[in-house]
Chain A
Amino acid sequence: MTRFHFSSTPIDTDAGRRALQDGAAGGYVSFEGWVRDHNEGLAVRRLEYEAFVDLAVKEGDRIVAQAMARYPVRHALCVHRIGDLAIGDLAVWVGVSAVHRGEAFDACRYIIDEVKHRVPIWKKEHYVNGDSGWVNCERCATAPRHDHDSHSHGPHTHD
């Protein structure tokens, strides 16, 4: 069982949390990424996620393994949605259990940051004004180039 997988139905966060339970763990940290109703000044109506699933699962699993190698946590998992999502839907879930909270926070942060940069998943936003676009591919043509290989990046938010 890989520690990164996709779901085409709403993510069952309770099941994810249960999978991380461990008598040796003193804490559990999770992150939920939600579909936001705006991006870069445009009102978002809905969005769709598409993935190159085989490679995405492989790369996602590598990220979770790297997080566990870097930070001494007990268990870690990441689940990403695929398909059509509405405002407020849960798009991605990361859960980590650890003996102490510090490593759990660090590993959780590492996983979500790396997933956003490295895993072949694409997001198409559909805007209230009727337009649509692939995030990082179209409307950001003039923005600094997307850095695929960044493994040490500054803090960034779920966007």
Chain B
Amino acid sequence: MRRDKAALDYGGASQLDRVVELARRHVAEVFVSVRPDQAGDPVRARHPLIVDAFPDGGPVAGIRSAFARAPASAWLVLACDLPFLSDATIAHLIRSRDPAGFATAYRSAYDGLPEPLCAIWEPRSADALALWVAQGRQCPRKFLGAHAAALLDPIDERALDNVNTPEEYARARAAFDTRTPRGTMRIQIRYYALLREQAGRSDETVETSAETPADLYRELGTRHPFTLTPEQLKVAVNGDFSDWTRALRSDDVVVFIPPVAGG
């Protein structure tokens, strides 16, 4: 498939946005690994990036670059072509983590080999990967086969299916549409005037299952002492006025507009 797999659309969000959002629910910080020539790509550049610091390219360069950034951290590494990846799969991986090994990974449901791109890589891998590359080797899969890695059986055999052909993409999208109608989304809210004072902040980002601005305002009203009713407000999404019933998408920016008083 010649298309950029990170940019493929599933239920209105790019595959990359989906996986970033998913990861964010499980770890402290999420970065997108890019080659230097991808750093300006808008699909990627909207997220914090780790640009390859090694010329060898491929996933190993990305993993080594992550360790270069935070050598003492373990890194949850996720491919961005796994549309079925779920919270359960990531949570199981984290629960089963073996910090003493080089990595914790799933076994492929097809060939039983370790899946390096849905795995937790431990800090001690950094030096071993450098040595691996110095020996002229590139394949992270073979690396995990050759080093002590905790291997888990997938809890959902499709969770690590990737998408390589237009036919697989079509099947994944179709399955996706019926399987996860809506998860939670990350929505940014900016507050002005009375709402800013009542929320005690100018902006916030929430994980929400609210499907529309109307749902979102109701939900926020349970946490902030808002006195204005939705009937008194207008709403803007992504910089322009919007309907209260518009379907929200991940990373939308929502502004509730109190009664105006210019002039």
Contacts and interface: CB of A to CB of B under 8 A. Distances in A.
A27 interface: no
A58 B240 contact: yes
B45 interface: no
Contact of A52 (B227, B231, B236): B236
Contact of A137 (B193, B231, B236, B239): B193
Interface string A143-157: 001101000000000
Nearest to A119: B262
Contacts of B190: 52
Nearest to A117: B260
B260 A145 contact: no
B262 A123 contact: yes
A134 B258 contact: yes
A68 B196 CA distance: 35
Interface size class of A (residues with CB under 8 A): 35 or more
Contacts of B231: 145
A23 to B, nearest CB: 31
A122 B260 contact: yes
A92 B262 CA distance: 8
A131 interface: no
A135 interface: yes
B240 A122 contact: no
Given A120-B192, A145-B232, A136 B240 contact: no
Interface string A87-118: 00001100000000000000000001001111
Contacts of B194: 122, 134, 137-138
A112 to B, nearest CB: 6
B239 A123 contact: no
Of A49, A59, A92, A120, chain B has the most CB atoms within 10 Å of the CB of A120
A137 B258 contact: yes
B232 A116 contact: no
B257 interface: yes
B241 A146 contact: no
B239 A120 contact: no
B186 interface: no
Nearest to A54: B239
Interface size class of B (residues with CB under 8 A): 20 to 34
B19 interface: no
B155 interface: no
Contact of A116 (B192, B258, B263): B263
A121 interface: yes
Contacts of B236: 52, 55, 120
A50 to B, nearest CB: 5
A122 B193 contact: yes
Contacts of A148: 234, 259-260
A70 interface: no
A33 interface: yes
A126 interface: no
A91 B263 contact: yes
A80 interface: yes
Given A50-B192, A134-B194, A121 B261 contact: yes
Closest 7 interchain pairs by CB?
A121-B262, A122-B193, A136-B259, A135-B261, A116-B263, A146-B259, A123-B261
Interface of B: 190, 192-194, 196, 227-228, 231-232, 234, 236, 239-241, 255, 257-263
30 contacts: A33-B263, A51-B192, A52-B236, A52-B257, A55-B236, A55-B239, A58-B240, A59-B241, A80-B262, A115-B263, A118-B260, A119-B262, A120-B236, A120-B260, A122-B192, A122-B193, A122-B258, A122-B261, A124-B193, A134-B258, A134-B261, A136-B260, A137-B258, A138-B194, A138-B227, A140-B259, A141-B227, A146-B232, A146-B259, A158-B263
Given A49-B262, A146-B260, 14 more contacts: A55-B239, A58-B239, A115-B263, A116-B261, A116-B262, A120-B255, A134-B193, A136-B258, A137-B193, A137-B194, A137-B258, A138-B227, A145-B232, A148-B260
